[in-house]
A and B are shown apart, each in its own frame.
Chain A
């Protein structure tokens, strides 16, 4: 491997004319403008990512019990969905869990992000590791360990245990998003406020918070989506006390494929897509 191939050694016959020594005013043109195979692979990749989702959405409007062949357009499954008390109950559970866990993790995660941004202290690296751990640890390990913990301390499984679990993984996500926003802040604005006689509290509420707010809303939207969509951890920490929507969908899928599942899945996907797109837009602000 150490011997460069021959073509490595001779210079190109006609070096491209180039103005050297001047600062570049724009980025160099992509050296790949003519790589059509890259475009093909990328196109196929996106097709692979979105075809199954599109099929699912299309079939949720299919006028056939067995959702096999396209039999025409119908809204029946969506109507059936809103008559299904089990699904509505699960939806209610999911909404409450997502709202409460988002609120709690937003406060805790923001405080943490603030501390990590402002202070350096002993053991900061270790804490950082612990904060990233819930993001990378397999869901199933987190779900199982929490369930064992609840059983051990005789804590009734139900809505409260799901919320506790969701806050545990959402703190980290909120921290990451808010911290990214903090790092992009202009410190001099805060200093200016302090120089003009504002104390720390006033500065925080009048200067820092308004600057942070797009990041906070983005973090909240993502935390809500993660909580609303979470299946594995909810599956283990729910017990028989409460059934969130993804767990309900799972049991319906296990029982056999019904077009109602396509309808509810489509709704959940569309809601998630909207929330995440909003969060993205806010983060780029």
Chain B
């Protein structure tokens, strides 16, 4: 919030004729608040949007085009820009790279106590270490060896494992294709972590705490989560004896990963102050302003120049793991209904992991359900 206030007051100082009324809303109601305001034809001049929400607005002609699309597309990474792009044009600019993959939180002390000198460097090592690190008591798993069971990470890990085999998960006509050998292999390995390797369980899934909260409470040794969780560990839990290290690729290929377009800013097409709104977006997206914004919000830069600026890494050393792989990120793709997409994969993952559904059948069901949803939004 302070990061926005700072950039707004700087802009107002440079443009005395412009006054920006900054309003905030709780996340739970924000998406619906936005939809209501755009539907009622009284949208804000400028709005912060999650990249995955943007296509619904841009394809209905509700957002102003950002000039200089061609140049801007070379300045940003592919994944954060995907959601803001429609027919080669940009309808807003991302402020951050929403990366949930590629890095994990580890407790080095727990690894040492189990005779593990370094974090795993291959997938097989990861599984072997996770098995060793898992602690059980009479009630079940007390400390999870490798926790990836969160609403985001099941899906992101599954999709990334397909990409790491050089596979694809999008078919024709904006339909997903999960009948490939790569998808089968990825889901089999993922469900096996629960069913056979037993390095994590489903007991905390869907609860009110995040997997990173359990990690900082000492209830998992390695937890797959985005770098944004580091701030919670440092500030909320006041934990310092942890590291954020790379998650090895599922194959010998580089650790490619799938990512959504994260938070960014858009201007309304109907805005009476459209020119000033677009100008503010351009101003906020300057390298200096984005550097300051990413530093103070502990977010990963979406713009290459900011990510490559040594100042950024100096101020956020935990980000190194994520910064090293940003160029490997692929936009998740044209998902029509984000929550439904993730929920469908998560629901069937649980059924497959607990043996209530075979992997092949589960993937068929996921594909059928998601493609029906994709068709409904055309």
Q: Do A and B bind each other?
A: no
B residues within 8 Å of A by Cβ? none
